[in-house]
Structure 1
Amino acid sequence: MSLPSAVVLAAGEGTRLRPLTRNRPKPMLPAGTRPILEHVFDQLIEAGIDSITVVVGYRGDRIRSYFGSSYREADLTYVRQDRQLGTGHALRAASSIIDGTTIVVNGDQLVDSRLIDDVATAHDVDAAATIGLVRRQEIGEYGGAILDDDGTVAELVERPQDKRAYKLNAGVYAVEPSIFDAIRRTEPTDGESSLIDAVTTLIEDGETVRGTVSDSYWLDATYPWDLLDLSDALFDTGVIGDEVASSATVHDSATIRSPVVIDRDCEVGPGAVVGPHTCLGENATVGSNAVVERSVIDADSRLGANATVVDCVTGIGVDVGHASVVPGGPGDVRVGDRFFEDEPIGALLADRVTDRGGVTYAPGTIVGATATIAAGTTVRGRIDDETEVRS
């Protein structure tokens, strides 16, 4: 089945990725050096889709201003979800635009165009919906599907805890307009209207919901350290590869260790070492004799001379001072009211963090946006937004 249009659900914040999402939604966080959402658009276009409706909400202005009314050869139309009340509620925001079969994808997860193709091929109008599935041993905090022998979906379970033969729900759907009636009739859970619950309503009504299992990739970033794993996976799958932008300046005495992506207008100083598995966003600077390894350094950030940065994720406009050290993970991290042990992150530095030099970050440190850290300080744990840390 040829499906020329798609709806991308990109209204959520990504609360478990705070404080990186203080100023932008999760779909605009970097996968490599480009927003997650840009990769999503690329894969939809590769699958032959040329009309995309984007449901925006939290910080939606960041999405509109970045992409405008078109991306590559695809037209972009925006609708707003005024309150973030779940994925079903988000899809309803686009109901006036949808008049036939359409593809629905999450804007904050990376899927291969092959998965989109597989869903489109498996779907026909005799089914109310078709779901894209992938094989994963660990489904964890995601959703799983149980399939009957004929490929129809018998059950959808969020965060399954039993040992049945689940396939992971990759968040790619082909849906008929009947989905909107199912959304309306489905009782919200904890105040949120879930697309998964609406599809379950279709199954309970006796409607046909198919599942198609694809051998393509599916990638997500739920927690801050996942952004490092995400970039690793993009290198490993060949979605991104070694690239040094023509406008970047790399000193002859610097060492670049593959794989790396060095974006436009970056500067790498004398004696610096960049990589492996490192992404430098647009206009980032690595000072003389600094070392940066397995890190995602976002746009307009600066690593001072003699700094060492390992297993680090930064926001935009971060300034790591002279001789500061992020020694790398693993570390214990607090996210909301949960504690995680031995996660592979050295530090997360949110937008416009500034350290004055000689700072040491204990593994697992999270520093909030616009925080300032005095010279010579050792920091650990979680530092709130706009905090001034004194030595």
Structure 2
Amino acid sequence: MKALILVGGFGTRLRPLTFTKPKPLVEFCNMPIVEHQVKALADAGVDHIVLAVGFRPEQMLDALKVMEEKYKIKISVSIENEPMGTAGPLRLAKDLIMDPSDSSDSLFVFNSDVICDFPLREMKAFHVQNDAEATIVVTRVKDPSKFGVVVHDASGKVDRFVEKPTEWVGDCINAGLYILKKKVIDRIQPKPTSIERETFPSIAAEGGLFCMTLEGYWADVGQPKDFLAAVKLYLEAETKKGGNSPMSGGSPHVASPLSVTTQCTHPHSDRADFIHPVLIDPTAKVGEGGKIGPNVVIGPNCEVGDGVRLRDTCLLEGAVVGNHSCVTNSIVAWGARIGSWVRVDDNSVIGEGVSVAHEVYLHNTLVLPHKDVKETNREPSKIIM
């Protein structure tokens, strides 16, 4: 069985991280975002994944080769020379999808920003049981007025879609995970097309669209605030799994690069006060007397000084946090260096290779890569260029 992942374009919502890497290769909990999806698909028996890419595909090739070897799965790239929406890429990749060597009549389709429990075997069974032309996964939200709501009956048959409803019609929204019969591709014109606004409503009108409700956690990691919220959901879910989960049995636990399957206690776990859950790469160094957690991810070769406070924060590979600094609700990117007695908070994102001087305070600040920051910023949503 095949799968297509809609990678899309520039990743503007996740800047400044995507100034350095294509969004699919940005590490989420010490593993590239796209690898979470590749692993789930491989575990579900998919043997060929097509990535529909519209931006810097050449930067992804080496990482994809590593994933091919690791998961024993074929990964191809379909390149969009112009934006094709969310349905157009399926038509563009038709020759790869309709490979006669694949006997399956359906394929998985993912939005690349989604992180969840990926109930793929359950999706496939539901799809086959209903003989659906298309199956979409939906998730319940507290405030559906911000989304497009999927209206369906008790069997899961989709009746219609209501965009940002002003009165109650339901609380289920599209979660960005689908199974489509391959014949759906013939519905799509070779031009920019929306699968949500054009393809799915047309299938629903003919009675061929079904939805399955996701019971576990779900998150869109396409922008920094949501990325950090997703870290909390992911770590909580991994903690509950037990067994081979890196978070089982308490924390801190570690994960090797490109993997979240290795489980052990970090060698520096007696130096600081850890508040569950925390995920640390084994190569990271943690100083004494600090307080780490909850909902903290520390990547490969990071250095955390003495007396440091980290909470609801991600340190990407090679990041350094100096003595007695406090970083909360923020992302510190690859190789960035935070000085001593620094405070960073409120959805700040410190770009690759940034240097923040001692005793600086950064509030809700985006710092572009390779900048030297020597002055405090308290202005919300400021971008330091």
Normalising by the smaller structure, the TM-score range is 0.7 to 0.9
Read off the aligned partner of 2:88 and give its amino acid letter: H
For the pair 1:270 / 2:288, whether they are aligned, the reply is: yes
Is the 8 Å Cα contact of residues 371 and 384 (structure 1) preserved in structure 2?
no
Query: Which segment is superposed worse, 129-138 or 140-149?
Result: 140-149
Q: Aligned residue for 1:237?
A: 237
Post-superposition offset of 1:211: 1.8
Read off the aligned partner of 2:157 and give its amino acid letter: T
Write out aligned runs for 1:161-310 (5 A): 161-184=166-189, 192-196=192-196, 197-204=198-205, 206=206, 208-238=208-238, 241=247, 242=251, 243-244=253-254, 250=268, 252-310=270-328
- CA-to-aligned-CA distance 1:121-179 (integer Å, 9 cap, x gap): 12249532121222333345443211134432111244444310242211121112332
Is the 8 Å Cα contact of residues 365 and 383 (structure 2) preserved in structure 1?
no
Q: Aligned residue for 1:85?
A: 84
Identity of aligned residues (%): 25
For the pair 1:355 / 2:376, whether they are aligned, the reply is: no
CA–CA distance in 2 between the matches of 1:247 and 1:112?
24
Q: Aligned residue for 1:311?
A: 329
Read off the aligned partner of 2:285 and give its amino acid letter: E
Report the CA distance shift for 1:165/1:141 in structure 2 as closer, same or farther (over 3 A).
closer
C-alpha RMSD of matched pairs (Å):
2.6
For the residue of structure 1 that corresponds to 2:97, the secondary structure is: coil
Read off the aligned partner of 2:148 and give its amino acid letter: G
Post-superposition offset of 1:300: 1.1
CA–CA distance in 1 between the matches of 2:164 and 2:223?
16
- Could you state the TM-score of these two structures normalised by the residue count of structure 2? 0.84
CA–CA distance in 1 between the matches of 2:302 and 2:26?
16
For the residue of structure 1 that corresponds to 2:122, the secondary structure is: helix
Q: Aligned residue for 2:160?
A: 155
For the residue of structure 1 that corresponds to 2:271, the secondary structure is: coil
For the pair 1:366 / 2:366, whether they are aligned, the reply is: yes
Read off the aligned partner of 2:200 and give its amino acid letter: V
For the pair 1:53 / 2:43, whether they are aligned, the reply is: no
Match of 1:118 among 100, 103, 122: 122
* Number of residues of Structure 1 aligned to a counterpart in Structure 2: 357
Report the CA distance shift for 1:97/1:282 in structure 2 as closer, same or farther (over 3 A).
same
Read off the aligned partner of 1:179 and give its amino acid letter: V
CA–CA distance in 2 between the matches of 1:254 and 1:126?
55
Higher percent of residues as helix: 2
Is the 8 Å Cα contact of residues 58 and 84 (structure 1) preserved in structure 2?
no
Is the 8 Å Cα contact of residues 43 and 111 (structure 1) preserved in structure 2?
no
- CA-to-aligned-CA distance 1:160-207 (integer Å, 9 cap, x gap): 44310242211121112332232218xx7xxx4211121222334x25
Report the CA distance shift for 1:178/1:256 in structure 2 as closer, same or farther (over 3 A).
same
Report the CA distance shift for 1:315/1:83 in structure 2 as closer, same or farther (over 3 A).
farther
For the residue of structure 2 that corresponds to 1:311, the secondary structure is: strand
CA–CA distance in 2 between the matches of 1:218 and 1:162?
24
Post-superposition offset of 1:231: 0.8
CA–CA distance in 1 between the matches of 2:237 and 2:270?
30
Match of 1:16 among 8, 13, 17: 13
Q: Aligned residue for 2:109?
A: 104
Report the CA distance shift for 1:354/1:108 in structure 2 as closer, same or farther (over 3 A).
same
CA–CA distance in 1 between the matches of 2:165 and 2:137?
18
Query: Which segment is superposed worse, 278-287 or 56-65?
Result: 56-65
- CA-to-aligned-CA distance 1:22-43 (integer Å, 9 cap, x gap): 2223333332222221111222
- Could you state the TM-score of these two structures normalised by the residue count of structure 1? 0.82
CA–CA distance in 1 between the matches of 2:162 and 2:118?
25
Read off the aligned partner of 2:203 and give its amino acid letter: L
Post-superposition offset of 1:278: 0.7
CA–CA distance in 1 between the matches of 2:355 and 2:55?
26
Report the CA distance shift for 1:234/1:111 in structure 2 as closer, same or farther (over 3 A).
closer
Post-superposition offset of 1:214: 3.4
Is the 8 Å Cα contact of residues 317 and 353 (structure 1) preserved in structure 2?
yes
CA–CA distance in 2 between the matches of 1:366 and 1:381?
10
Unaligned runs of 5+ in 1: 330-344
Q: Aligned residue for 1:321?
A: 339
Post-superposition offset of 1:263: 0.9
Report the CA distance shift for 1:252/1:207 in structure 2 as closer, same or farther (over 3 A).
closer
Deviating runs (4+, > 6 A) in structure 1?
A: none
Q: Aligned residue for 1:336?
A: none
For the pair 1:65 / 2:62, whether they are aligned, the reply is: yes
Is the 8 Å Cα contact of residues 128 and 176 (structure 1) preserved in structure 2?
yes
CA–CA distance in 2 between the matches of 1:222 and 1:159?
20
Report the CA distance shift for 1:213/1:46 in structure 2 as closer, same or farther (over 3 A).
same
CA–CA distance in 2 between the matches of 1:282 and 1:90?
34
Report the CA distance shift for 1:311/1:321 in structure 2 as closer, same or farther (over 3 A).
same
Match of 2:37 among 22, 40, 44: 40
Read off the aligned partner of 1:349 and give its amino acid letter: I
- CA-to-aligned-CA distance 1:272-313 (integer Å, 9 cap, x gap): 332222101111111122222221111111101221112211
Query: Which segment is superposed worse, 16-25 or 237-246?
Result: 237-246
Post-superposition offset of 1:320: 0.7
Unaligned runs of 5+ in 2: 99-104, 239-244, 256-263
Is the 8 Å Cα contact of residues 142 and 168 (structure 1) preserved in structure 2?
yes
For the residue of structure 2 that corresponds to 1:179, the secondary structure is: helix
CA–CA distance in 2 between the matches of 1:370 and 1:140?
40
